[in-house]
Amino acid sequence: MSARDRLVTVGTQLLEEHGLAGISLRSIASAAGVSHGAPRRYFPTYQALLAAIARGGLEDLDRTIGPALARDDLRAAARAYLDFGRERPEMFGLVTRHDLLEGAGANLREITGRWFADLGATLARTTGRSVHPEEVLALWSGVHGLAALSSRRATEPTGIDPARALDVLLEKHRTPAPRSRGAAKSR
């Protein structure tokens, strides 16, 4: 494994064990067995190393979300996002920090931008109607909110399973069966 790959792998492990606040360029270099200056040869900034770590997390998540959206399975895609937040809370926290990672490289929006477009297309196909970008963002926000709350265990005091709340959210984005003209007149 190259020194660059080792830095990313070790950085990922340390992130998942200690969280973003518990790691530094120096701690990653030390755990990777390289000098504290070695990471600068591969990553011009600490944020660039974090972006490379985040890219790996997004790619892991994409292996589940991408195929689910390709087969128009909103529930599977949303559930994958929720599960990722619960199972890998520290990575989830990093990959959603566009404010921290913006301009740091790794082209993270290539993945998340594709998800947004695919989510909109899937929503349009599954509902059989035109979907506005604001509706797509509202759905993404709802799924993200449940995942974020769940990743930090904030839903536990409610006793509500976030997956059931996810079902309620997704139900709001289904299209009711069209009414026949006779049913509309009889009302």
Q: Please tell me the total count of domains within the chain.
A: 2
Q: What is the pLDDT of residues 21-76, one digit of tens each?
A: 999 999 999 999 999 899 999 999 999 999 999 999 999 999 999 999 999 999 99
Say if residue 13 is in the same domain as residue 97. no
Element (H, E) at 117: helix 109-127
CA atoms of 35 and 19, how far apart (whole Å): 22
Predicted confidence at residue 25, as pLDDT, reads 93
CA atoms of 131 and 25, how far apart (whole Å): 44
Q: Is 11 within 8 Å of 51 (Cβ atoms)?
A: no
Say if residue 103 is in the same domain as residue 12. no
Q: What is the pLDDT of residues 131-171, one digit of tens each?
A: 999 999 999 999 999 999 999 999 999 999 999 999 999 98
Considering the domain boundaries, does residue 48 fall inside one?
A: no
Q: Name, in order, each residue with C-beta under 8 angstroms of 61's C-beta and a sequence gap of 6 or more.
A: 80, 81, 84, 95
Q: By residue range, what is the domain housing residue 24?
A: 1-42
Say if residue 58 is in the same domain as residue 37. no
Count CA atoms within 13 Å of residue 15 on its CB side: 24
Task: Provide the CATH number for the domain around residue 161.
Answer: 1.10.357
